[in-house]
Structure 1
């Protein structure tokens, strides 16, 4: 049985000030009491969470290339997207895979869930692997522009070296794929 993490250095919230409420994230500034009795401020981004899919077709991984305004450049990433309120995780992963790549998965297997930037954000990302894919139609969001391609593990590793792939979810997916090739299981 897994033992929960200790809250040994828990910070008590004294006040919380909403700063911004957007379509994807909200920002708040909290005043907290530190374990030593002092106070500090914490800027916190709230996010509904997201799903991402490591989609494999034979010996290739589906990726999308899209411009990321926050970075000021295009990135190659695995299909992913934000969760809708109370959306089932598996259904969300299937939705994102089909919307961005046109492929449907017979089944998805959960690989991991992880926090993307726990120092200032509560976004949790749920990573799935999809195999046995069937080609369908792409259904991009109205503000989404991307290209889909399939790449080999060697290409993915090269893209990481070139920083064409530099986001945590895609790097984690590439490493999971590499481990799968070595061990035969996810």
Structure 2
């Protein structure tokens, strides 16, 4: 369902997100990274964040589930963006940082713990991981997309199932897009 939405609305989504200023969120993540760190942009969408991290001097790998989004992200970033899903992540202790901006929220709640464990295993010990979810509790569908919303309580419960991951920082933000009035739960995590 969700991938179908992005396949058919890729250009509209790209146009609506590619120029959003995410610098305050980048700073929360990058202050924990060494220069030239290897970052995975997991569920990269338009490639906006991948491009920004490249411009900051980081090595970046990126993937998205939608072939249409992958094509737009490749063109925007010049990177070899992979088409794959979270369940296909197989790397072990490879990345210094993983960036999951508004992407894990599309994983169905029953699969989220397993997906996050895979991503945790892809992080090097001491690695940093940014995640964001729309603020709420439970699953819902809106305009052809599935969302798993999180609040502080449900996120804490989810993290209990993810081994070796600790919360560095957690905070709420308002949507950065001018036409949106949504609250987001953000977190920076670290692999022990």
TM-score interval, normalised by the smaller of the two chains: under 0.3
TM-score, normalised via structure 1 length: 0.21
- Could you say which structure has the higher strand fraction? 1
State which structure, 1 or 2, has the greater radius of gyration over its C-alpha atoms.
Answer: 1
- Could you say which structure has the higher helix fraction? 2
TM-score, normalised via structure 2 length: 0.21
